[in-house]
Structure 1
Amino acid sequence: MSRNDCSLGTLTKKFVSLVQDAPDGIIDLNTAAGKLLVQKRRIYDITNVLEGIGLIEKKSKNNIQWKGYGDGTDHEGVEDLQEKLRMLEARSKELDSYMDILNREFVIQQNDANFRSRAYVTDEDIRNIPAFKDQTVIAIKAPSGTTIAVPYPEHLPERDRQKYQIYLQSKDGPLDIYLVSAQDEVKIKDE
């Protein structure tokens, strides 16, 4: 038996596999030591840790029972979940990589005067967005730190509940408000 086959980590994996394959998840420690070709004290090292973290429990002097995930018989379910987790982690790393690339490109573009001179949207661009068809669209240009509140008009009668008021407050400069498109009449009142 090679040194790698005798490592505590490898033995633990083999021991857990034996326990999970045992009827009702119960195994005799002498039998386990014999099947794994190790001294019983190595099995005790493993069982002490597994018992300490609540994956097994002693049934009698030389018998333990698996009480970890499930009943110990759903190896494929666990393996499927582990594979899905690996795939999700790989996809997450891939998306993080794309986000890093996009962020670097964004910084480069923001520092490019030629790009900044063309970085705008026209009112026609906004009106051509299907989600804004037959909607009132208001554009607000405000300094950093501006607060906005749009309280729900629950105190209004049912027929007037589609009427909203928008409150804007800026301590750091003027606000510019633009009506881009309108379905209904929009009143802008400066207070």
Structure 2
Amino acid sequence: GHMREIADKLIELKAEIEELQQREQELDQHKVWVQQSIRNVTEDVQNSCLAYVTHEDICRCFAGDTLLAIRAPSGTSLEVPIPEGLNGQKKYQIHLKSVSGPIEVLLVNKE
């Protein structure tokens, strides 16, 4: 009857919880491994001289896009409001606000 259904449902839910807990442990373990791998790579002295990207690398990755490089102090806020469409043309704006120093913005292009 009705009680049997509830009991079955409980057993089912408990099994699901156990399975999810096990999956969570697995994910936690993987996270630890990934963090350790990142540390191994970043803390290896031999790698530090290779830890850079070139202007060409960046342009190649974002070919055809408008690229802005922003150098701003920690704590700078960045907002991109939803653009208003003026006669079918969307005008995007970026609002940057810093209280602790200047913000530098650079247009990155092939030239």
TM-score (norm 2): 0.67
1:103 to 35, 41, 48: 35
State the partner residue of 1:91.
23
The separation in 1 between residues aligned to 2:9 and 2:55, in whole angstroms, is 54
Q: Deviations over 1:44-74 (max 9, x none)?
A: xxxxxxxxxxxxxxxxxxxxxxxxxxx3212
Higher CA-based Rg: 1
Residues 1:91 and 1:174: Cα distance change in structure 2 (over 3 Å): same
Residues 1:160 and 1:116: Cα distance change in structure 2 (over 3 Å): same
1:172 to 101, 104, 110: 101
What SS class does the counterpart of residue 4 from structure 2 fall into? coil
% of aligned pairs identical?
A: 31
State the partner residue of 1:112.
44
Higher relative contact order (CA 8 A, sep 6+): 2
State the partner residue of 1:159.
88
Residues 1:99 and 1:118: Cα distance change in structure 2 (over 3 Å): same
The separation in 2 between residues aligned to 1:78 and 1:141, in whole angstroms, is 55
What SS class does the counterpart of residue 73 from structure 1 fall into? helix
Confirm or deny: 8 A CA contact 1:139 1:177 kept in the other structure. yes
Superposed, 1:34-183 pairs within 5 Å as 71-74=2-5, 75-126=7-58, 134-154=64-84, 156-161=85-90, 163-170=91-98, 171-180=100-109
Shift of 1:117: 2.6
CA RMSD of aligned residues (A): 3.0
Shift of 1:99: 1.0
Shift of 1:152: 2.4
Shift of 1:128: 5.2
What SS class does the counterpart of residue 72 from structure 1 fall into? helix
Confirm or deny: 8 A CA contact 1:146 1:169 kept in the other structure. yes
What SS class does the counterpart of residue 99 from structure 1 fall into? helix
Structure 2: state its 5+ residue gaps: none
TM-score (norm 1): 0.44
